[in-house]
Amino acid sequence: MGSSFYQLEPQGQCSGSVQVPGDKSISHRAVMLASLAEGVCLIDGFLPSTDCEATLAAFKSMGVQMEALSPTKIRIHGVGLKGLKSPQGELNMGNSGTAMRLMSGILAGQEFSSTLVGDESLTARPMKRIQIPLQDMGANLALSNQGTPPLRVQPSNGLHSIDYQLPVASAQVKSCVLLAGLYAQGRTCVEENVRSRDHTERMLQAFSYPIEIEDNRVCLSGGKQLTAINIDVPGDISSAAFFIVGALLSKTTELVIKNVGVNPTRDGVIEILRRMGANIEISNGKTFGAEPVADLVVKSSELKGIEIPQHLIAKSIDEFPILFIAAACAQGTTRLNGAQELRVKESDRIHNMVIGLQKLGIDVDEKPDGLIIRGGKIKGGEVDSGGDHRIAMAFAMASLVSAEMMIVRNTDNVVTSFPGFVDSASQLGLRFK
């Protein structure tokens, strides 16, 4: 368990102007595709978090040359789809489910053996969901008896394409199958019932890889090539979400968050908050490579409880810890159903948020696939993040409206997605001691 903690004085502010770090999902994918491309790629706005650094280290150990020009600017010399070398030792993916699931798709198509490992939290996460389609493609993939990491990949007799219907919308599983499809004979297709985030598809297109997208179905044929490009990584909307809610809860504030990715498969958090009465404006829209980017202007707002629509769950799956804080401070009742996926994230996010909110004096019921939150007054006190970076940051923002001092235990993992969180939050007016 982590030893670090946050101590926050109540009734701070969250106003001014801020730029959040680069998008984690896009940073992972940029490193992966740049490494497999023909030519040299410059990534600007890379997220220098422990998760994304783990992806960099994995490709370095497979023979990809890269130079860090600054913590957020990296030059990668692509080796082509067939150019990776056998790594020395295990590939440690740290806390990152994204890195492990996407990497397994790439490694399934290699002619060498590899083993993917991770930290305690990642080692408990379900990996059967990628093992099943990869084995259907002919990959040779072994997990623990519990269906969890370590994940061992042996060379196979070559991959063949599949037409895969995802049981649950998941960008990680979809991306894993598509990346394996780069190495497969024939045309690989993935179909979802609800469209999950589409960063992989957008980036494949940006790297000039032929890909067909129709509604919730994506297809590509193996054996083509990725052509190097330069990538600007937009700010991460999942990191911005903490400050968006902070500004909504603060008294008479305005906050501007610059250059945030507003990909339509990721903007569920904005739509949910607007339905709750949030004043959020999107301005200065532009495009970074294949990704839409804008500035967000947020003004303090009176929020009201809502029933969270099913179609927005996949578009906001990582933002629920901070959405639960918004719901706790809203007038009336907020209900969420159909979000059992939250139980297998970096922690059981339904259970850990329920326990924390109850400690802060909020009336909340835990359901197998969601919760019911009755808005009220946050009294302050001590909560535990369960080692989950997003829960730690969510409870830190609750100090803005707490009656007393807040202590958030177990905050080590915040560096996996938002290095510099305390500095950015302090500059906006949160009162860390």
For domain 5-22+235-432, the CATH architecture is: Alpha-beta prism (3.65)
Beta strands in 206-318 (DSSP E): 212-214, 217-221, 231-232, 254-261, 279-288, 291-299
Q: Is 236 a catalytic residue?
A: no
Are 131 and 101 in contact by the 8 Å Cβ rule? The answer is no
| Count of CB atoms situated within 10 Å of the CB of 162 | 20
Q: By three-state DSSP, how is residue 262 classified?
A: coil
- Domain spans of the chain? 5-22+235-432, 24-232
Give the predicted TM-score (pTM) of the model.
Answer: 0.92
- Answer whether 5-22+235-432 and 24-232 agree in fold: yes
Question: Environment class of residue 152 by beta-carbon count within 10 Å: exposed (0-12), middle (13-18) or buried (19+)?
Answer: middle
Which residue stretches of the chain have pLDDT < 70? 1-2
C-alpha distances in Å from residue 306, one per residue of 134, 354, 410: 39, 18, 31
Residues 37-59 as b/e (b if ≥16 CB within 10 A, e otherwise) read bbebbbbbbbbbbbbbbbbbbbb
Question: Across the chain, how many H-helices and E-strands are there?
Answer: 13, 25
Annotated catalytic residue, options 236, 295, 318, 388: 318
Lookup result for tokens 């992966």: 32
Strands 187-191 and 163-165: parallel
Q: Are 243 and 278 in contact (CB under 8 A)?
A: no
CB atoms within 10 A of CB 78: 23
Contact 411/6 with Cβ under 8 angstroms?
Answer: yes
pLDDT, tens digit (0-9, with 9 covering 90-100), for 72-96: 999 999 999 999 999 989 999 998 9
Superfamily of domain 24-232: Enolpyruvate transferase domain (3.65.10.10)
Give CA–CA dist 409/219, Å, rounded.
Answer: 45
Determine the pLDDT at residue 1. 47
> pLDDT at position 290, please?
87
User: In degrees rounded to 5, what are phi and psi of residue 22?
Assistant: -60, 155
